[in-house]
Amino acid sequence: MTKTLTIDGKTIPFQDGQTIIEAATAAGVYIPHLCHHPEFTPHGSCKLCSVKVNGRVCSACTFPAAEGQDVINNSQELNDDRQKITQMLFVEGNHFCPSCEKTGNCQLQAVAYHLNMLDDHFPLFFHNRNVDASHSDVLIDHNRCIFCTLCVRASIEQDGKNVFAIAGRGINKHLAVNSATGLLKDSDLDKNDKAAHICPTGAILIKRTGYQVPIGQRLYDHQEIDAVSLAHETEQRHGE
Amino acid sequence: MKAFLEQLAAKYQHNATNLLAILRAVQARFHYIPEAAITTLADLLSIPRTQILAVAEFYSFFHLTPKGQYEVFISDSITDHMLGKHELMAYLSERLQVAVGEVRADGLVSLDNTSCTGLCDQGPAGLVNGLALTNLDKARIDLIAELINQQKPLSEWPKHLFAVNDNIQQTGLLLASAITPGQGLTTTFTRGITQTLAEIDLSGLRGRGGAGFKTALKWRFCSEEPETERYVVCNADEGEPGTFKDRVLLNSYAEQVFEGMTIAAAIIGAKQGFLYLRGEYLFLYEKLLALLEQRRQAGLLGQNILGQGITFDIEICLGAGAYICGEESALIESLEGKMGIPRNRPPYPVSSGYLGKPTIVNNVETYLAAAAIAVNGGAWFANLGTEKSKGTKILSISGDCKRPGIYEVPFGITVQAVLDLCGADDVFGVQIGGPSGMFISNQELHRKLAFEDLATGGSFIIFDNSRELLAIVKNFTHFFAHESCGFCTPCRVGTSLLQKQLDKIVDGHGSAGDVVALEELCRLIKQYSHCGLGQTAANPILTTLERYPEIYQAQLKQISYEPGFDLDAALATARRLANRDDAGAHLAQIGEEHD
Amino acid sequence: MANKIKVATTSLAGCFGCHMSFLDIDERLVTLVEHVQFDRSPLTDIEHCSSDCDIGLIEGGVCNSENVHTLREFRKQCKILVAVGACAINGGLPAMRNFIPLEECLAEAYLHGIGVENAHVPNDEELPLLLDKVRPIHEVVKIDYFLPGCPPSADVFWKFLTDLLAGSQPKLDYELVHFD
C-alpha cells in the first residue's frame, strides 16, 4: 500500500527514505529552497524550506517523510518568514544585482521574487569580501556566497575532487579553495566540473559567459522559480 | 617544523580524527597555525588542507596569525564583569603595553577576551597559554605582567596564580560520599548488566546537561542498535556561562565519572569512550590522564575489566574554544577532527554518532550519578526530588551572593531556598540555566528547580538590585553571536542582527518600532534555527522583555525613527581629510527636519 | 487643483535613471497630471517640499551630509515616503565604494590619482561631506514603500501610483518585481 502524507491539505504519496521535499517535488509541490539540490546529499542550512510538520518547524530537505504527516508549506506565515530569511542572506552578503552577471538567472534573486521581497528590511553588513579571478575560466565573487555548500558537495560527490570547503565560524564564514595558495587557479577545478556550474547565486561564474541572454529571455524573467524548479526536476527524472 | 609535525602526526597515528589535538600542539609550539604547517599536515594526515584551515578558523584557541609567546585571555562572562573585569582588563592592557585583541610589537604577549572559562565562583578569571588564572586583582596582574616581561616560564610562576578551588558549599546524595573505585562496576557485574540498567531506569535519572532525556532510555536505544561498534562519550565541554560543576566533578570525583562511563560501556557494549574536555580545563588534563592510568593498573579499565571479559578504554580529547561543541552532535563532529557543526537529526547519535556508529553522549554529572545509582540502587536516588525530576541537581552558583560555589540540592527546591543557602539578599533576578535558560525576577523566587518548572543544567547566576539588566542581556546576546557556528541562516545572520538591534536600543538610539523589530528577530531565530544554540540565543532578550518591558521602553526615544549607526561619526574621516569642523561638517543624530 | 495629490521626487546618490524611467510612462503622464501635482522635484525645479506633500519618491542612497538633510526634509513633509530603485533600497552601485576606505577613495580622487594637479581634498564649507559608507535610505529614515529595480520600469511607477490613487494597497505583479 502506498504511504501518504499531506501538504497543505493535499494528500501525496511517498516512498520510504524520501525526505519531505523529495516527496513534495515528485508530487509537483514546490517548497522554496536554495541549499537543496536533488542530486546531492541534503545539507539543511539555508532554512528556506522550513515547513511545519505536525505543528513543528522542520527543514523539508533533511526531514524524512513519514506516514500521516500533516505538512504546512505554502502559508502566509511561512512565506513571510522565508522572506525574512532571504533578506538575511541579502544583507549578509553584498548582492548588487544590477552589476551581477547572474541576474535574471539567479536562484537567490528568483526566490526573493517568488516571496515578493521588495527590500532588504534589515541593516546591511557591507562586509568586505574578495573576488578571486585567478582561474582562467572560472570566477569566484565571495560577495555573493550564501554558504549553501552546493559547490562543496558537487565537487566531492560528482566531480570526485575536493575543490571547495566552508571555513570560519559564525558571521565570519567563508568559502575556501583547496589549493596551496588558496587561489582557484592553483586548484584542480575545471570549467566543465559540476562544481563550477552549481552555484545558485553569482558567487561562482564561468568567465566570458555573462549577459549573453538578453533581458526578457532569461530564466526567471517570465517564469517563477516554482515552475522552473519543478519542470527542471521532472525533466531530470524522465532523463534517468 | 617538519620534523616536529612528523613526530606529532606519528604520535596520533596519522589519523585525522585527532586533528584538534594536533593543532593544539602546533598552536602551543608556534603560538599560531603556520601556513606551512597546514600544508605539511594535510599531506601527513591525507586530508584536504581546507579541512585544517576550516578547523583552525573555527575554534577560538587556534590562530592563523602569530599570537604572543604568552597568550593571555580574560574571561568575558557576565560574572567576571560583575567582579570588575572591565577595569582589570584596562589595567592589564596598560601594564602589558598591549591593546586588547593585539599582539605586542616584540611578539612576547597577546591579550584578548574569551568566553566564560568556568571559573565564575573565583573570577575575574583568565587563561595564559591555556592554563587557568583565578581571582585576578591588581596585585596579581602586577605580578603576571612582571613574570611575562621577565619571560619566566609558566612552570616557574607562583602556584597560587593557578590555584582553582572546588568551593563545594553543600553536598547531598552524590557529593557527600564518592563511591570507592571499582565499587560501581563490582555491583553492576554482581547484579547483572540488564538489572543495572533497570535500576538506572528506576532511578528516573535524566540527562544533567539540561535537556533532560531519560538516561536509561538513551542507553537502551543504543544497546539495541544493530551495529555493534558503539561509543560512550562524556560531554565535559561545559561552556554555558555560569556553569562550573563539571570542573569540580572532574577535579575531585573523576574516578566516579569514569566508572559511570565504564558501566555505560558495559550496558551498551562499547569498547571505546571519550571524555571531551573543554580546552579551558587544560589544567585538569594531566591529572585525569594519571587517573585513567591508575584505573588501568587496577583492572578497572582496558582489557578484561575485573575479569569479566569486558574491554573498554577512555581517551581524553581537548576542545579548543567553541561553545557549540556542547551540543552533542557538534561535539561528535569535533571528536572526528572537524568543525563543531551540529548535524541534521534524525539520525540521532544513539544510532549514528561517532564515525557513524551508535553513540551515547551524556553529561559528566549524569555518569557520576549513574555510578552512584549502580552502587546504591534506583530507589535510593528516586527517593529525592519530584515526580518528573528524581534525585539531586548539582548547581554552579555565582554572582551576587556571599558563598558562591557548588551546591547539591534535591530537585524541586525553590529558588528562594537556594538563595538562602548561598547567602543572597537584595535579589533583583536570577539567570537560571545560563544565558540559554531563563531570567527570572524577584517575584518568582517561589518557583522550583525541576524539569516541571525551571529546567537547568546547573548555572545559577544571581543579580542584586545594583545590576543593570540591559548590560546583562547585552553580554549574553553578544556571547551567542560570537559562538554561533554559522551553519544556518537564521542563527548565523540573525544573532549578528540581534546584537546590532539590541545595541541600538541599549545605546539609546532606539525609537518606537525598534522593540517590535527586536521581537521579530528573536522569533525568527528561535523558530527557524538549526540547533539549540540558535533556538535559545534570543532567550536573554525574550525572558527579560516579558518581565521588564518598561526597562526596554524607557530606552526608546519618542520619535518614529532613528538611524542605527552614528551619523556624525560617519562624517569623521571626511571632516579630517577636508580639515573642517564648521557646523555644516556635522550631522545631528535626529534631524531638525524631524517631527 | 486643490484636491490633487502632491508628489515630490528627488535623487540622492543616484543617477537619475529612475527619474528617466518614470518619464517613460510617456503619454500616461497626461493622465497622471490630471490627478497629481508635482512639488519639489528635478522636474519642477521647486527647491523645497511643501509641508503637505502626499508622496515622496526617493531615488538613490545616502552618500553625504546633504543627502541626509534632503531625505529628512522629505520624511518630514511627505505622508508616504517611497524608496525607488536599487540604490535607495540597498545603496546600489555607489555603495560598492563601501569596501574601500573613504580615505583611500578621496586620496585617489584628489591627491594621488593620475592627472591630479594642485592636490588637496576639497574643503569649501559649501560642499557636503561624504559619509564613510553609502547607506540605503531605510537606515536613515522610516520608509513606507519600496520599488525595486535598476531602474524600476515605467510600468512599476504607473502601477504603484495608480494603485495609491485608487486608494488600494499597491501590489506589484511578478514581472514587475526585479532587482536589476
**Which residue, A14, A45, A80, sits at the end of a domain?**
A80
| Mutation target among A94, A95, A97, A228 for the C interface, most CBs of C within 10 A | A97
How many Å apart are CA B283 and CA B277, to the nearest integer? 11
Any CB–CB contact under 8 A between B269 and chain C?
Answer: no
Q: Which is it for strands C36-38 and B102-103: parallel, antiparallel or unpaired?
A: unpaired
**Which residue, A80, A114, A135, sits at the end of a domain?**
A80
**Out of C86, C133, C180, closest to residue A126 by CB:** C133
Residues B317, B210: one domain?
A: yes
What residue type is B477 in one-letter code? T
Residues B210, B344: one domain?
A: yes
Residues B341, B401: one domain?
A: no
Any CB–CB contact under 8 A between A208 and chain B?
Answer: no
* Residue where the block lists cell 521588495: A118
Largest CA distance in chain C: 57
Q: Give me the helices (H) in B32-84, please.
A: 35-45, 49-58, 78-82
Has residue A188 been placed in a domain? yes
Among residues A124, A30, A149, which one has the least CA distance to residue B488? A149
Residues B13, B154: one domain?
A: no
Average pLDDT on A91-119 reads 97
Residues B542, B508: one domain?
A: yes
CB contact (8 A) between residue C89 and residue A120: yes
Residues B402, B446: one domain?
A: yes
B565 vs A contacts (CB less than 8 Å) = 123
pLDDT at B594: 43
For A16, the domain range is 3-80
CB contact (8 A) between residue A122 and residue B489: no
Q: Report how many domains make up chain C.
A: 1
Distance of CA B372 to the CA centre of its chain: 25
Residues A70, A168: one domain?
A: no
* Residue where the block lists cell 504519496: A13
**Out of A59, A92, A168, closest to residue B493 by CB:** A92
pLDDT at A240: 46
Contact (CB, 8 A) for B257 and B345: no
pLDDT at A239: 56
Residues A122, A147: one domain?
A: yes
Which chains lie within 8 Å of chain B at 3 or more CB pairs, if any? A, C
Residues A64, A156: one domain?
A: no
Residues A35, A118: one domain?
A: no
Query: For all residues of chain A together, what is the average pLDDT?
Result: 96
CB contact (8 A) between residue A119 and residue C83: yes
Has residue B561 been placed in a domain? no
pLDDT higher than threshold 70 for residue A21: yes
Q: Report how many domains make up chain B.
A: 5
Which secondary-structure segment (H or E) carries B428? strand B427-432
Residues A16, A109: one domain?
A: no
Along the 595 residues of chain B, how does pLDDT read in single tens digits? Answer: 999 999 999 999 999 999 999 999 999 999 999 999 999 999 999 999 999 999 999 999 999 999 999 999 999 999 999 999 999 999 999 999 999 999 999 999 999 999 999 999 999 999 999 999 999 999 999 999 999 999 999 999 999 999 999 999 999 999 999 999 999 999 999 999 999 999 999 999 999 988 899 999 999 999 999 999 999 999 999 999 999 999 999 999 999 999 999 999 999 999 999 999 999 999 999 999 999 999 999 999 999 999 999 999 999 999 999 999 999 999 999 999 999 999 999 999 999 999 999 999 999 999 999 999 999 999 999 999 999 999 999 999 999 999 999 999 999 999 999 999 999 999 999 999 999 999 999 999 999 999 999 999 999 999 999 999 999 999 999 999 999 999 999 999 999 999 999 999 999 999 989 999 999 999 999 999 999 999 999 999 999 999 999 999 999 988 888 898 999 999 999 999 999 999 999 999 987 654 4
Has residue B565 been placed in a domain? no
Contact (CB, 8 A) for B495 and B430: no
Has residue B524 been placed in a domain? yes
Residues B74, B40: one domain?
A: no
Has residue B585 been placed in a domain? no
Has residue A240 been placed in a domain? no
CB contact (8 A) between residue C99 and residue A98: no
Q: Report how many domains make up chain A.
A: 2
Q: Does ipTM surpass 0.95 in this model?
A: yes
CB contact (8 A) between residue C175 and residue A221: yes
Residues A201, A105: one domain?
A: yes
Residues A112, A215: one domain?
A: yes
Residues A175, A57: one domain?
A: no
**Out of C65, C73, C142, closest to residue B593 by CB:** C73
Residues A164, A98: one domain?
A: yes
**Which residue, A27, A50, A80, sits at the end of a domain?**
A80
Contact (CB, 8 A) for B526 and B533: no
**Out of C123, C135, C141, closest to residue B578 by CB:** C123
Residues A47, A129: one domain?
A: no
Residues B514, B492: one domain?
A: yes
CATH of the domain at B190: 3.40.50.11540
CATH of the domain at C92: 3.40.50.700
Contact (CB, 8 A) for B382 and B369: no
Extract the residue ranges of chain C whose pLDDT is less than 70: 1-2
Has residue B531 been placed in a domain? yes
CATH of the domain at A31: 3.10.20.740
Residues B261, B350: one domain?
A: yes
For B10, the domain range is 2-58
Residues A40, A8: one domain?
A: yes
Residues B373, B331: one domain?
A: yes
CB contact (8 A) between residue A169 and residue B57: yes
Residues B289, B192: one domain?
A: yes
Residues B250, B345: one domain?
A: yes
pLDDT digits (tens, 9 = 90+) for C108-141: 999 998 989 899 999 999 999 999 999 999 999 9
Residues A61, A103: one domain?
A: no
* Residue where the block lists cell 609558566: B154
Any CB–CB contact under 8 A between B36 and chain A?
Answer: no
Among residues B337, B364, B342, B361, which one has the least CA distance to residue B351? B361
Q: Which is it for strands B392-399 and B405-410: parallel, antiparallel or unpaired?
A: antiparallel
Count, residues in chain B: 595
How many Å apart are CA A166 and CA B53, to the nearest integer? 9
How many Å apart are CA B36 and CA B26, to the nearest integer? 11
Contact (CB, 8 A) for A85 and C101: no
DSSP state of A5: E
Print the SS3 string covering B362-373.
EEHHHHHHHHHH
CATH of the domain at A115: 3.30.70.20
How many Å apart are CA B378 and CA B481, to the nearest integer? 41
Has residue C32 been placed in a domain? yes
For C23, the domain range is 5-97+131-176
